[in-house]
């Protein structure tokens, strides 16, 4: 049908009111034939560098998508000239988005984007790096620790702060996903600032103790934080110590 429409004169680069072209739309689709359709549209001179109203490239959109062909599509788009460091209206690169929207192909996609020399410490308008966003992700799974290790191995800054003065350790301590525990343990073993304070004067230990997902394994994390000299007497802006 797509081939028929183009043969009949349909404009392959026509835009809707969100400035999306057909190529943008198929990059947002979970159609199992997406890769073939994208290849066809590119052959028909679809503008590979067109951006949406939100300044998003096709690479941004596919990194937000859980399409099973994501990695093949991403490799094709980069091969055709899309810059992985291009930012959208929130200053997010494709790496920010795949870290924020983890899917089954995330590890391979992140590894590929890093190989393309994507800026691993690039900041959004909220001063958040890909590592910040990954630590906020509610879809963490047992393999997520491997992504964190990869980001840190490639020199993601573990002490960088966002607009709320939160480090990645603050965010993962606040994350209520049970798979966050292994990540917390890993970050604690790095040269992380264990007593870094947010704008509310809260340390990672404060945030972990506020976490509603505490269970019988939580004591191990608290012991680790204290062993690494987390200050148990710091008070926050509400003049409170810990929340347990």
Integer Cα distance of 232 and 164 in angstroms? 21
Q: Is 113 helix (H, G, I), strand (E, B) or coil?
A: helix
pLDDT of residue 244: 53
Residue 59 contacts residue 75 (beta carbons within 8 Å): no
Cβ neighbour number for residue 117 with a 10 Å cutoff: 9
The dihedral through the CA atoms of 31, 34, 36, 41 has a sign that is positive
pLDDT of residue 1: 64
pLDDT of residue 243: 57
Integer Cα distance of 74 and 35 in angstroms? 10
Residue 44 contacts residue 12 (beta carbons within 8 Å): yes
Residue 195 contacts residue 229 (beta carbons within 8 Å): yes
Q: What is the pTM of this model?
A: 0.91
Residue 90 contacts residue 124 (beta carbons within 8 Å): yes
Integer Cα distance of 151 and 145 in angstroms? 10
Residue 140 contacts residue 175 (beta carbons within 8 Å): yes
Give ∠ CA 147-70-20 in degrees, rounded to 5: 120
In sequence order, what DSSP letters do the residues of 153-193 get, joined into one string? HTT--TT---TT---HHHHHHH---TTHHHHHHHHHHSS--
pLDDT digits (tens, 9 = 90+) for 28-83: 998 889 999 999 999 999 999 999 999 999 999 999 988 778 999 999 999 999 99
- H-helix or E-strand containing 226? helix 218-227
Sequential pLDDT tens for the chain (244 residues): 676 557 656 689 999 999 999 999 999 998 889 999 999 999 999 999 999 999 999 999 999 988 778 999 999 999 999 999 999 999 999 999 999 987 778 999 999 999 999 999 999 999 999 999 999 998 888 889 999 999 999 999 999 999 999 999 999 999 988 889 999 999 999 989 999 999 999 999 999 988 767 777 788 889 999 999 988 888 877 666 665 5
Pull the structure tokens for residue 89.
């209206």
The dihedral through the CA atoms of 115, 119, 125, 129 has a sign that is positive
Side-chain-facing half-sphere of 215: CA atoms under 13 Å: 8
Pull the structure tokens for residue 197.
């304070």
pLDDT digits (tens, 9 = 90+) for 173-186: 999 888 899 999 99
Pull the structure tokens for residue 136.
């906020």
Pull the structure tokens for residue 211.
């976490």
Pull the structure tokens for residue 214.
């505490």
pLDDT of residue 8: 56
pLDDT of residue 230: 87
Q: What is the DSSP letter of 169?
A: H
């Amino acid at each position: 049908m797509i081939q028929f429409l183009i043969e009949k004169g349909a404009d392959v680069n026509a835009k809707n009111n969100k400035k999306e072209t057909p190529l943008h739309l198929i990059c947002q689709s979970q159609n199992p034939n997406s890769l073939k359709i994208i290849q066809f549209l590119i052959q028909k001179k679809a503008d590979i560098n067109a951006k949406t109203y939100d300044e998003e490239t096709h690479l941004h959109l596919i990194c937000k998508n859980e399409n099973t062909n994501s990695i093949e599509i991403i490799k094709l788009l980069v091969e055709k000239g899309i810059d992985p460091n291009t930012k959208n209206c929130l200053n997010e690169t494709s790496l920010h988005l795949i870290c924020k929207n983890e899917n089954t192909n995330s590890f391979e996609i992140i590894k590929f984007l890093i190989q393309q020399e994507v800026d691993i410490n690039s900041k959004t308008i909220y001063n958040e790096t890909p590592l910040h966003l990954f630590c906020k992700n509610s879809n963490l799974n047992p393999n997520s620790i491997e992504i964190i290790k990869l980001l840190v191995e490639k020199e993601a800054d573990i002490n960088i702060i966002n607009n709320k003065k939160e480090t990645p350790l603050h965010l993962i301590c606040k994350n209520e996903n049970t798979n966050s525990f292994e990540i917390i343990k890993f970050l604690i073993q790095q040269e992380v600032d264990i007593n870094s304070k947010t704008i509310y004067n809260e340390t990672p230990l404060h945030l972990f103790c506020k976490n509603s997902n505490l269970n019988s394994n939580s004591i191990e994390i608290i012991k680790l934080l204290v062993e690494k000299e987390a200050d148990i007497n710091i008070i926050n802006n509400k003049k409170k110590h810990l929340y347990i």
